[in-house]
Every structure is written in structure tokens, then in C-alpha cells.
Amino acid sequence: MKNSSPRPIASLFLGILFPVSFLGGCASPTPPAAASVSCWGRLELTFTSSAAYGNPIQETALLAVFKSPSGQMHRVEGFWDGGATWRVRFMPDEPGPWTWQTEFSARDNRGLHGQRGAFLCTANPQADRFAVHGAVRVAADRRQLVHADGTPFFWLGDTCWNGALLAPPADWDHYIRERVRQKFTAV
């Protein structure tokens, strides 16, 4: 029997690939000065260019340099988001006070070059694997996946195609519970 109402995207994951709490953290607005962001949460900074460019992607480059509480520097490329809007997204990996500063290829652009700020990275209140161990990346040996803290990540996935759209809710809920019980990491 076909289910005529689509299910919310967050319910499709139910903690398998990305917990609902992790997905919710991705929608954070630009924090004001000295805002707080949880460890492995997403910080998004938004900037307004003081100049227009014919082809911003090819003509210019935005970089933000983040300094951790222990003094490590993280260089993150920003991106043009249409019009005069530019953004930088970053996931802090260490609790404590952080600072950041922007560098823009056109140094005379006061909206993008030399911007500074700070934020406080707090302990992540979530208990899922991403909050505890960080984002997934390719290991140094280039042969496996690991979390940012080096904890191995085994990718066990399943393809369900239109299962969420076509299955009755009870069947879909059973399918998800089984995949969680079987320790799948992706659907």
C-alpha cells in the first residue's frame, strides 16, 4: 500500500547516518560576537562584500583563519553565496575560547578582509558518535574512514530507494529499528 504523505527528512535517518540532533545543528544562524558553539557543531559566518566582482569565484578568494584555545591554526576557505554575500563554515574541535580573522584577496574590500571575531566552543551535550568523536574523514593511511579523533568508522550502508515514501509507517519504523539494531551507519 502506498503511503501518500512524505515523511520528514530528519525521520529518515533516525540516528543511523546522522542523528536528528546533528542535522538540527547544521542550521545555526551566524553567531553574534562571543557566541557559543558546541564542539563539532557548525559555526557559520556571513559577510557582505563592499565591492562587486564580475566573476567572484574566479577573481577572488576568501579565507578565515581560526585559532583554537591550544593555539592551533585552522585555515578554512569561504565561498561566495550570490550577490554581495559570502560565507565561511567551520566545526570547532576543541572546547574553549576561539578567535578568527578573515583574509580576502582584494585587501581593500572592508566587508571581507580583516574581519575579526571570537566565540566560545562548549562541550557537546549530545551523546551520538559524531558529537563524541567528530566528523568522518579519510584516515592518514588513505585506506579507511575514521572520526576526527582517530576512532575508526565502519561504513555499513543499505539502499532502500523509495522505502520511506512507499512503505506504510509501521513497516518503515520496523526497517529503521532493525538497521539500528544491526549497527548500520548509513541508509
Region 88-108: mean pLDDT is 96
Please tell me the predicted confidence (pLDDT) of residue 63: 98
Please tell me the predicted confidence (pLDDT) of residue 32: 43
Give me 49's grid cell: 562584500
Region 55-81: mean pLDDT is 97
C-alpha span between 52 and 56 (Å, rounded)? 8
Split at pLDDT 50, 70, 90, the class of 59 is: very high
* Helix residue spans in 102-144 (DSSP H): 129-133
Could you tell me where the beta strands, DSSP code E, fall in 18-142?
35-38, 43-48, 62-67, 73-77, 79-80, 85-90, 96-104, 116-122, 136-138
Please tell me the predicted confidence (pLDDT) of residue 11: 33
Region 22-27: mean pLDDT is 33
How many other β-carbons are positioned within 10 Å of the β-carbon of residue 182? 10
Task: State residue 184 phi and psi, 5-degree precision.
Answer: -65, 145
The pTM (predicted TM-score) of the whole model is: 0.67
Pairing assessment for the beta strands 85-90 and 43-48 based on DSSP bridges: antiparallel
Region 182-187: mean pLDDT is 86
Beta carbons of 66 and 74 less than 8 angstroms apart: yes
C-alpha span between 150 and 92 (Å, rounded)? 16
Percent of the chain with pLDDT over 70: 82
Please state whether 114 falls in left (phi above 0), alpha (psi between -120 and 50) or beta: left
Beta carbons of 146 and 132 less than 8 angstroms apart: no
Q: Is the pLDDT of residue 174 over 80?
A: yes
C-alpha span between 175 and 42 (Å, rounded)? 30
Please tell me what DSSP assigns to residue 109. -
Beta carbons of 68 and 42 less than 8 angstroms apart: no
